[in-house]
Amino acid sequence: MADLLTGASGSVSAETLDLARLQFALTAGGHFLFVTLTLGLATIVACVQTRATISGRPLQARMVRFWGQLYVINYAVGIVTGIVMEFQFGLSWSGLTHDVGNVLGASLAVETIVAFFVESTFLGLWIFGWNRFGKWVHLALIWVVTLTAYLSAYWILVANGFLNHPVGHRMEDGRAVLDDVGALLTNPSALLAFGHILAGSLLTAGFFMAGVSAYHLFRRTPEWEFFGRSLRIGVFVSLPALVVTAGFGGVQLASLADLQPMKSAVFQQKTAEIAQLQTDLAARFGPGNYVPSEAWTRGGALVMLIAFALMMYLCVAGTVLGCFRKVVFRFRLWHVVLMASVPLPYLAMISGWVFREAGRQPWVVYGVLRTRDAVSEVSPTAMRTSLIAFTTLFVLLAVVNARLLWRHARRGPVESGLGHDERAARDDRTDGDEPGPADPLPATRY
């Protein structure tokens, strides 16, 4: 990363700068992977519960419980990663909060209120109110959770959009002050990214749902109807989600020439344009290297596009194959392909994030604040210690999340778990009606 900048200012060393950037890249990227599955699964669970509530079919209610449990697991661990990431702003990026905190602080504060006080509250009501609220009230709860999750993502992208395309502010004594709320909220860098992320999250959840279902169908599960329907939902959701994701991504690429011309030139390998932009930026902002790393910028974009091409083939084929009932249940090679393709959306999302963030270097706020001026004045030893601590914690959380998801996904739909009513199940067993592995679970209001 040292090639991205020419050095550091003040008492901040180049080593501290690189360590701070690496720390934020690992923690923010790790948290992002949790968020993408959470947003997508919340949407699918809400839609499935809507259908279950209207139809009253027990099978669909069981699908809500099973996929809802996976959603809750991923959400809970993701919240912890988000809290850990917040510590970095004060620890590693005091210059960012000092110079542009008046603008970023508002959107981050609203996101915190929405995420922790609204989304989490209604999610708790949804989890523990399964057999206590009426079915329509319970359905309303999951939709409030889903919509507030969208709002949370939007406010985060308002902040990130300002970093990539700062609008709606004026400078006073070297500090950014919020000047135009409307411009900030309608920032094209934020709105395009918002649509891109929401569709990409639905794509991630679709691949995840299809992969888990394929695992059970490959093993000849007695829950063949349950996972056959789930697999179809996953593959049928993935194609339109991929198309929308690509649409927003294409518009973002086209807008780079106006919003971030240097990133666009590096991506397209326009050597003459890069040299001219470097000369212009050096004349405007002073000596320095204003060319982002081609390895990270162009490399991230290429990996994203390759993953997109692979997913396009899989989505088109999956949509066709999913129309044939026998293929869904018996095509074991397809099941293996679906299981193996679960990481593809994650790879595309994280490589796209690398392209977006690495491509604006050496700016933390494009054209306003350089990354080296935003880093806290701490020693390399302190920064290295925090990097090791945060990275270790994130790795542990990722492992725990993967193990919990795998454990629950492998078990399949069982009696115990989310929304299970022990009293109703006990009464049902007293009547001598033990539920079999493919029977509807007793305790459901749908």
Amino acid at 395: V
Tell me what pLDDT residue 416 has: 57
163 vs 97: CA distance, rounded Å? 12
With contact defined as beta carbons under 8 Å apart, do 374 and 92 qualify? Answer: no
Judge whether 116 lies within some domain.
yes
Per-residue pLDDT at 121 exceeds 70? yes
Amino acid at 95: G
Cβ-in-10-Å burial (0-12, 13-18, 19+) of 434 comes to: exposed
pLDDT, one tens digit per residue, over 187-200 is 999 999 999 999 99
Tell me what pLDDT residue 345 has: 95
Per-residue pLDDT at 441 exceeds 60? no
**Residue 418 corresponds to which tokens in the numbers above?**
């989310």
Judged by DSSP in three states, 414 sits in coil
Cβ-in-10-Å burial (0-12, 13-18, 19+) of 439 comes to: middle
Q: Which of 250, 349, 264 is nearest to 298 (CA)?
A: 264
In terms of DSSP H, where are the helices of 165-223? 181-185, 188-218
Helix (H) or strand (E) holding 349: helix 343-358
Per-residue pLDDT at 5 exceeds 70? no
Angle at Cα 276 formed by Cα 272 and Cα 282, nearest 5°? 145
Tell me what pLDDT residue 11 has: 54
Q: Place 86 in a pLDDT band, splitting at 50, 70 and 90.
A: confident
Judge whether 343 lies within some domain.
yes
423 vs 436: CA distance, rounded Å? 18
Helix (H) or strand (E) holding 359: none
Alpha-carbon 134 to chain mean position: 31
How many domains is the chain built from?
Answer: 1
Residues 6 or more apart from 218 whose CB is under 8 A from it?
332, 335, 336, 339
Cβ-in-10-Å burial (0-12, 13-18, 19+) of 90 comes to: exposed
Judged by DSSP in three states, 8 sits in coil
pLDDT, one tens digit per residue, over 13-36 is 888 888 888 888 888 888 888 899
Judge whether 237 lies within some domain.
yes
133 vs 419: CA distance, rounded Å? 11
Query: Scanning the structure block, which residue is given the tokens 């309608």?
Result: 186
Query: Scanning the structure block, which residue is given the tokens 């209207």?
Result: 54
Q: How far is CA 242 from CA 85, 151, 237, 247, in A?
A: 29, 21, 9, 8
**Residue 302 corresponds to which tokens in the numbers above?**
């290429």
Per-residue pLDDT at 422 exceeds 80? no
Of 330 and 344, the structure prediction assigns the larger pLDDT to: 344
Per-residue pLDDT at 446 exceeds 80? no
126 vs 86: CA distance, rounded Å? 27
First-to-last CA distance in the chain?
Answer: 54
Cα dihedral across residues 358, 160, 192, 240: positive or negative: positive
Three-class SS string for 211-228?
A: HHHHHHHHCCCCCHHHHH
Q: Place 92 in a pLDDT band, splitting at 50, 70 and 90.
A: confident
Amino acid at 346: Y
pLDDT, one tens digit per residue, over 387-419 is 898 888 888 988 998 999 999 999 888 765 676
- Omega prior to 362 cis, within 30 of 0: yes
Structure letter (DSSP) for residue 331: -
Tell me what pLDDT residue 89 has: 75
Judge whether 398 lies within some domain.
yes
pLDDT, one tens digit per residue, over 134-172 is 899 999 999 999 999 999 999 999 999 999 999 988 888
Judge whether 414 lies within some domain.
no
Tell me what pLDDT residue 442 has: 35
**Beta bridge mates, 369:** 365
Tell me what pLDDT residue 106 has: 83
Per-residue pLDDT at 3 exceeds 50? no
pLDDT, one tens digit per residue, over 223-251 is 889 999 999 999 999 999 999 999 999 99
With contact defined as beta carbons under 8 Å apart, do 248 and 199 qualify? Answer: yes
**Residue 195 corresponds to which tokens in the numbers above?**
């649509």
Of 86 and 5, the structure prediction assigns the larger pLDDT to: 86
**Residue 225 corresponds to which tokens in the numbers above?**
């109807």
Amino acid at 290: Y
Q: How far is CA 174 from CA 17, 171, 368, in A?
A: 21, 6, 10
181 CB-side CA count, 13 A:
4
Tell me what pLDDT residue 158 has: 93
Judge whether 281 lies within some domain.
no
Judge whether 214 lies within some domain.
yes
Structural domain range at position 224: 2-260+292-409
Structure letter (DSSP) for residue 172: E
379 vs 370: CA distance, rounded Å? 19
Judge whether 176 lies within some domain.
yes
Helix (H) or strand (E) holding 282: helix 271-285
